[in-house]
Amino acid sequence: MPEVLPEYHPLTVLRDWGKVSPGSAFRISDAQTGVVAFGATGSGKTSGPASHFGHSYLAHGFGGVVLCSKKDERPMWEQWAEETGRTRDLIIIDKSGKWRFNFLEWEASRAGEGAGLTINIVALLDEIAGAIASGAGKAEGGGGDNKFFEDALHYLNTNLVDLPMFASYGTNNSLPVSLPLMRSIVNTAPQSLREAQSDEWKHGGGECAAILRAAAEATKTADEDTRADFEECRAYWEQEFPNLSDRTRSIITLSFSMLVRPFITRPLRKLFSGETNVTPEDTFKGKIIIVDLPVQEFFLAGRVANLAWKYCFQRAVLGRMQPTDGSFLRPVFLWADEAQNFITEFDAAYQAVARSAGGCTVYLVQNRESLLRVLHSPSAVDSLLGNLQCKCFCQNSSIETNDWAAKLLGERWRSITSINAGRSNPTGPGLDPTLSAGASSSEQRRYFVEPARFTTLKRGGPAHNHQVECILYNGGMKFQGADEQGTPEKQPYTLITFNQRDEPATPGRTAHVS
């Protein structure tokens, strides 16, 4: 009998690939090194490899967060959950507001080293602001005025987070850090040095002045470092901010308004304000959180909502540590179809270390160019893809992606035979022509899979007898194959055919593979 492994052991087999390559399998340890699937529109990557992995994760008890680009993703996951007995674990984040997550309050109050630090709360805001700017078509890494205003917004956010935290210093009644409160502080901040120095503003200037007074009182007996930090914050609101030119201050405040507006208006206000009743940590208990605010329908608001959940989930995962009692963390997945809608620079940093925290990423994307358009740098794209070890290539017509895939799978030496023949016609009378022929053989390097092969893979549907073909690479794994002469050899890839009409997966089965 096979050895019975502890629950969530890294060697636990999620999918037995022995039918396509004897002795090969996809295990929890493989899931934790990440999966990316490429395929053109209609290539079958969702009904093929995505269904293959999705059913496996659900059937083995994984928790996770599903980001939604399209309206049909929620019903698809509901079907998968029903087929694997996981319906009760679903949490649907939608515009009804039943499930709420105040992510700033969560970051400010969560336990653990580094939690509650202003720099980490501001980093969350910066991540979302950067994604919004990228979605608006602003080039990454711009200099000049763009860089100045990005830094100025970061500086504003830092002081907006610091101020209510100082006002709560040393008390049990903490002033929650929230986007509505932050906006109120900005809207009531002094607009000139003269106004900031006036008794009228200091004692009746609204939220900003009132919280400054509360912070001064709360930190009056604080330690020297805390007091010095508060004085820096007070100097910003009473001297630096009002001393900015009207144009500069208006651009900074407008940038802030663009950042917070999606969260304090419909449909996101109910989802990210008020009392929290769901957090990323719920996935650690096996919950599957579906952010059903698809970009296809909600556009920027949907993208912002998905990004907020994604980044907070990644931060929560990175805070986990493997138990020391011999047990193992429950694996949790981050799933994104049309992943280019949600990719940010942080993904590469997250993916580099997610494995040790039990994080499993699955990104579905049409082609490599989609990632390049978002990340703006080939090195940034390669940094991310290099840490998504399992790569699935469905039918694709992207020349760059197909060339890149062929190079990834590598080359081998092949014996190439050349045959030549010639004829010379003598010019003299009665002379016969001279015939010549020859053959030569040489060793040359050729791709295991030529780029053109990716264009002809089966795409499913009636035209392909409901079969989806996928060329699969899994870092470090060798599959049983054969060279062109039929001689068995180990290869860095295998061809898997998924049957769209197969029954759903259960542990230990090889459904969807033929």
Asked if the model's pLDDT at residue 4 lies above 80, the reply is no
135 with 169, same domain: the answer is yes
- Token readout for 301 is 């608001």
**What gap in Å lies between CA 117 and CA 123, rounded to an integer?**
10
Which residue in this structure is represented by tokens 């990719």?
343
126 with 146, same domain: the answer is yes
Q: Are 47 and 468 in contact (CB under 8 A)?
A: yes
Predicted confidence band at 231 (pLDDT cuts at 50, 70, 90)? very high
452 with 487, same domain: the answer is yes
- The reply to whether 510 falls in a domain is no
**What gap in Å lies between CA 210 and CA 404, rounded to an integer?**
59
Q: At 235, phi and psi to the nearest 5? A: -65, -35
Asked if the model's pLDDT at residue 2 lies above 70, the reply is no
What is the pLDDT averaged over residues 287-297? Answer: 97
* pLDDT in the model for residue 109: 78
**What gap in Å lies between CA 338 and CA 320, rounded to an integer?**
28
CA proximity to 69, closest of 267, 336, 288: 336
CA proximity to 43, closest of 403, 434, 464: 464
- Which string of DSSP letters, residue by residue, matches 33-62? T-EEEE--TTSSTIIIIIHHHHHHHHHTT-
136 with 46, same domain: the answer is no
**What gap in Å lies between CA 457 and CA 82, rounded to an integer?**
30
**What gap in Å lies between CA 315 and CA 319, rounded to an integer?**
7
116 with 201, same domain: the answer is yes
Question: For the segment 417-443, what is each residue's pLDDT rounded down to a tens digit?
Answer: 677 777 777 766 666 777 777 776 666
- Token readout for 245 is 């030119």
Domain boundary among 215, 242, 264: 264
* pLDDT in the model for residue 127: 84
Asked if the model's pLDDT at residue 504 lies above 60, the reply is no
SS3 (DSSP) at 416: strand
- The reply to whether 87 falls in a domain is no
Handedness of CA 275, 278, 279, 284 (dihedral sign): positive
Query: Where are any strands of DSSP class E within 88-131?
Result: 90-93
* pLDDT in the model for residue 6: 86
Q: Are 288 and 330 in contact (CB under 8 A)?
A: no
Asked if the model's pLDDT at residue 415 lies above 50, the reply is yes
pLDDT higher at 423 or 20: 20
Confirm whether pTM is higher than 0.85: yes
**What gap in Å lies between CA 274 and CA 102, rounded to an integer?**
7
163 with 287, same domain: the answer is no
Q: Which of 229-243, 306-320, 472-486 has the lowest mean pLDDT?
A: 472-486
* pLDDT in the model for residue 350: 96
Domain boundary among 206, 234, 264: 264
24 with 169, same domain: the answer is no
- The reply to whether 487 falls in a domain is yes
SS3 (DSSP) at 398: coil
Asked if the model's pLDDT at residue 159 lies above 60, the reply is yes
223 with 282, same domain: the answer is no
- Which string of DSSP letters, residue by residue, matches 262-328? HHHSTTTHHHHSS-----GGGGGGT-EEEE---HHHHHHHHHHHHHHHHHHHHHHHHT----SSS--
20 with 166, same domain: the answer is no
- The reply to whether 343 falls in a domain is yes
236 with 294, same domain: the answer is no
pLDDT higher at 373 or 443: 373
* pLDDT in the model for residue 135: 57
Q: Are 491 and 479 in contact (CB under 8 A)?
A: yes
60 with 117, same domain: the answer is no
SS3 (DSSP) at 13: strand
**What gap in Å lies between CA 347 and CA 143, rounded to an integer?**
23
- The reply to whether 94 falls in a domain is no
What is the pLDDT averaged over residues 313-327? Answer: 93
Question: For the segment 190-225, what is each residue's pLDDT rounded down to a tens digit?
Answer: 999 999 999 999 988 789 999 999 999 999 999 999
- The reply to whether 251 falls in a domain is yes
Asked if the model's pLDDT at residue 232 lies above 80, the reply is yes
Asked if the model's pLDDT at residue 488 lies above 50, the reply is yes
Domain boundary among 264, 285, 301: 264
Instruction: For residue 487, give the CATH number of its domain.
Output: 3.40.50.300
- The reply to whether 222 falls in a domain is yes
> Range of 135's domain?
103-264
pLDDT higher at 238 or 300: 238
**Angle at CA 87, nearest 5°, toward 297 and 355?**
80
301 with 391, same domain: the answer is yes
Q: How many domains does the chain have?
A: 2
> What percent of the chain shows pLDDT beyond 70?
89
Query: Where are any strands of DSSP class E within 103-167?
Result: none
- The reply to whether 299 falls in a domain is yes
Mean of pLDDT over the chain: 88
Kindly give, in sequence order, each residue whose CB lies less than 8 Å from that of residue 183, ignoring residues fewer than 6 positions away. 256, 257, 260, 264
CA proximity to 406, closest of 447, 456, 365: 447
> What percent of the chain shows pLDDT beyond 90?
69
